[in-house]
Amino acid sequence: MSTRKMKLGLFLWATGHHIAAWRHPDAHVTAGIDIDHYISLARTAEAAKFDMVFCEDAAGLREANVNIASQTSRSIGFEPISLLSALAAQTERIGLVSTASTSYNEPYGLARTFASLDNLSGGRAGWNLVTSASPIEAANFGATGLRPHADRYARAREFATVVTGLWNRRAAGHDGESFSVRDPLDIPPSPQGAPVMVQAGASDDGKDLAARTADVVFSAAQTFEDAKAFYDDLKGRLAAYGRQPDDVKIMPGVAPIVAATKAEAQAKYDALQELIPDDVGVALLSSYLSISDLGRYPIDGPLPELPESEGMKSRQALVIEQARRDGLSIRELARYFAGARGHWRVVGTAEQIADALQERFEGGAADGFNVMPSWFPGELDAFATLVVPELQWRGLFRKDYEGRTLREHLGLKRSI
Amino acid sequence: MHLAVSLNIASAAGQVSLTFAELAAFVRNVEAAGVDMVIISDSSDAPSTSPFEATTLLAALATVTSRIGLVASASTLAHQPYNLARRFASLDIISHGRIGWSATMTQNPREAANFSRPEGFSDDDFRRRAREFINIVRALWIGWGRDALLFDKAAGRFHDPDKMHPLNHIGEFFSVRGPLNVARSPQDRPVLIMSGPSEADFDLASGAADVVLIEGRPSEALKVAVGDLKRRAAAIGRKPEIVKVLATMVLTSEPGTDSLQALLESSGCDGFNFVLPADAPGLQSFTDRVLPELRRRGIAGQGQQGTTLRAHLGLGAGGEQ
């Protein structure tokens, strides 16, 4: 029996990760305005001994086309810092991780806010650093549009340096390209010292920044080979920054659909796929490809040739590779990606899902997984009651918390 | 007659900071005593020793209280209007309609130095920027129509696309397309509070604020300010009674309830905002000695008339002003 334990995050996302989740008969459709729903999800994850809950975020709408947007549940939801602060008071042990942008915040304010969340939660806070690739967000913060990829990452590097300096009480005073900060942080040291640093960028710039500053890396990988290549690449970059392979936990996303039999699980998945309107699927695919007009190509034809995007470079490459490899039409690709948003989809019994997770975990392709239930609360409940006990029985996942802080759950040093 | 309690959790430098449990117990005590709202600020000229930032603290407090209004100070220097509007709208949903934003109307040099504005703004620029900021936030809060969310699973329509309104603001200091990605909150707009506005801010306060906090002494100055604010509100077509003016009183010892009653009658103010020291003995003294006296005199205990902070304060719906 292995002593190394899998890390599990619960990726919270509106009514569920499937684009049509909100239409599922059992999905809690008012999730985006119901705090009790989120408290209940966090407690379910805590009872199942998850390391953390994670809130993805964007400071703007997800979809520019109002007709498409109105057919999804993603235009409204809680602002994540307030949501997690509320959850801090209603949970005891589980980690609380939120996305926040380096493009639309100031480092002093962000460092204060997450230090406060760390204090409120007794050391359970984490920050997922994003540079924000969406022009929709950019339009809420000025008239000059989205900054180029390289500029966003230059700003992010400076931002991360200032924030970690403030958390770790390094010498105060920063006067840089994008930011100036005069004083030390005016919040006493929090239980973790520094909240956990998370990143998900998979471009070269993103991986280097993660290797330098992240404790946890979220990723998207369809195949074992892709997951393994990403894992080895990122861990290989750590030495250059004087870090050990175990200093960073790599947690790819997984979108499971679990049921008592494989056939039942497949039927659940098929029913969900049927709920996706074609125009919504194609629009979502367009946004991952960072182009605006995929709808003008024949839906049953192949993907057209595309220029490299200024937005999410790594995600675009992933989608294109998938399409070419499997010879998928736009419709097929749209449905496939709408289902799990480019993440790894596993449909089957608890044993089959545990097998798949175990293979990647023991094969050196993952330190754990960011679990993306297709709809809430049903698919979280199914994972917590079927898959988690199976992982525990195999000795792959903890039966109880051993530590108090998120750093302790993850087996990380106190501070970076 | 309305009652607020203000705590500056940043002002406890050198003292033992309040824990979350102590703060929660205090807020529940004043909630039980019928206080309309607690106003929390976390910023001062000197470095704070408080472990909490005000808006995050408010979210946690919202889950352990059920009636009292919860207000956080947040400055226009330390935030972007889109982010601030989101945070407070989200807090309003979390608290089921009990949230207020106390907009800081003075420039804090410490904030300027730490938020990449080492030179700060001129007073005039700061004021124009604050005005633009506040108006953006107020407009973002009502960008979604009240009945915009349809939740129609069968028809596949989550919201009504015609009831989601972008802002398309292009101003001197900010460009914000909107709309918010947070639903219309229970109060339409969280309650907007302005603390200690200078006379130059009176137009903004009387035109946009729901509650204005004015120094209670000297009483003559208070009376003049109350009259001035209500006149200006009426002049632009607002009902004067929906701009509440509370007299800020720093409680050093016994409140002197006779003089409070007299001040209420002579100034025409709508109630009081008691500023308490953010330390355990100060809070203990207020709940054990001051509150019972205020209740006995009928100064406390009349609040919390409804389920939302707007209802407690006797304000109209936030979207209709």
For B3-39, write each residue's pLDDT tens digit. 999 999 987 566 778 999 999 999 999 999 899 999 9
Q: Does B25 touch chain A (CB under 8 A)?
A: no
Q: From the list A67, A183, A275, which residue is nearest B47 (CB)?
A: A183
Q: Tell me whether residue A319 is in a domain.
A: no
- Mean pLDDT score, A212-234: 95
What residues of B are in contact with residue A139 (Cβ under 8 Å)? 175-177
Write the pLDDT tens digit of every residue in A162-174.
999 999 988 779 9
Q: Cα distance from B190 to chain A (closest Cα, Å)? A: 15
* Cross-chain Cβ contact B56/A82 below 8 Å: yes
Q: Tell me whether residue A285 is in a domain.
A: no
Q: Using omega within 30 degrees of 0 as the cis cutoff, is the peptide bond preceding B218 cis?
A: yes
Give the pLDDT score at A1.
46
Name the B residues in 55-74 with CB < 8 Å from any A CB.
55-64
Q: Tell me whether residue A269 is in a domain.
A: no
| DSSP conformational letter for B231 | H
Tell me the HSE value of A117 on the side-chain side, using a 13 A CA sphere: 27
Q: Which residue of B has its CA nearest to A143?
A: B175
CATH code assigned at A50: 3.20.20.30
**In whole angstroms, what is the distance from residue B204 CA to residue B211 CA?**
12
Closest by Cα among A107, A76, A329 to B180: A76
- Binning pLDDT at 50, 70 and 90, where does residue A46 land? very high
* Cross-chain Cβ contact A120/B151 below 8 Å: no
pLDDT for B254 beyond 80: no
Average pLDDT over chain B, rounded to whole? 92
* Cross-chain Cβ contact A33/B93 below 8 Å: yes
Q: Cα distance from B149 to chain A (closest Cα, Å)? A: 9
What residues of A are in contact with residue B144 (Cβ under 8 Å)? 76
Give the pLDDT score at A309.
64
Q: Tell me whether residue A184 is in a domain.
A: yes
Q: Cα distance from A74 to chain B (closest Cα, Å)? A: 8
Q: From the list B56, B78, B113, which residue is nearest A85 (CB)?
A: B56
Q: From the list B57, B89, B91, which residue is nearest A116 (CB)?
A: B57
Find the radius of gyration of the CA atoms of chain A.
20
- Binning pLDDT at 50, 70 and 90, where does residue A416 land? very low
Q: Cα distance from B285 to chain A (closest Cα, Å)? A: 25
pLDDT for B320 beyond 60: no
Containing H/E element for B305?
none
Q: Tell me whether residue A70 is in a domain.
A: yes
With a CB cutoff of 8 Å and minimum separation 6, the contacts of B36 are: B2, B3, B4, B68, B69, B271, B303, B304, B309, B312, B313
Interface test with A, best of B94, B95, B157 (most A CBs within 10 A): B94
**What is the number of structural domains in chain A?**
1
Q: Tell me whether residue A316 is in a domain.
A: no
Write the pLDDT tens digit of every residue in A331-369.
888 888 777 677 899 999 999 999 999 999 999 999 999
What is the length of chain B? 321
What residues of B are in contact with residue A182 (Cβ under 8 Å)? 110, 113-114, 118
Q: Which domains does chain B have, with CATH numbers?
A: 2-116+182-313 (3.20.20.30)
- Mean pLDDT score, A193-200: 96
- Binning pLDDT at 50, 70 and 90, where does residue B290 land? confident
Three-class SS string for chain A?
CCCCCCEEEEEECCCCCCCCHHHCCCCCCCHHHCHHHHHHHHHHHHHCCCCEEEECCCCCCCCCCHHHHCCCCCCCCCCHHHHHHHHHHHCCCCEEEEEEECCCCCHHHHHHHHHHHHHHCCCCEEEEEECCCCHHHHCCCCCCCCCCHHHHHHHHHHHHHHHHHHHCCCCCCEECCCCEECCCCCCCCECCECCEEEECCCCHHHHHHHHHHCCEEEECCCCHHHHHHHHHHHHHHCHHHCCCHHHCEEEEEEEEEECCCHHHHHHHHHHHHHCCCHHHHHHHHHHHCCCCCHHHCCCCCCCCCCCCCCCCHHHHHHHHHHHHHHCCCHHHHHHHHHHHCCCEEEEECHHHHHHHHHHHHHCCCCCEEEECCCCCCHHHHHHHHHHHHHHHHCCCCCCCCCCCCHHHHHCCCCCC
Q: Cα distance from B117 to chain A (closest Cα, Å)? A: 7
Sign of CA dihedral B128, B132, B135, B137: negative
Q: Cα distance from A2 to chain B (closest Cα, Å)? A: 39
Separation of CA A19 from chain center: 16
Provide the domain limits for residue A142. 7-255+367-410
> Cβ–Cβ contacts within 10 Å for residue B227, how many?
14
Give the pLDDT score at B293.
85
Residue with the two structure tokens 């194609």: A282
Q: Tell me whether residue A43 is in a domain.
A: yes
Write the pLDDT tens digit of every residue in B110-164.
999 999 999 999 999 999 999 999 999 999 999 999 999 999 999 999 999 999 9
CB A136 within 8 A of CB A61: yes
pLDDT for B281 beyond 90: no
Q: From the list B80, B156, B164, which residue is nearest A141 (CB)?
A: B80
Name the B residues in 237-296 with CB < 8 Å from any A CB.
none
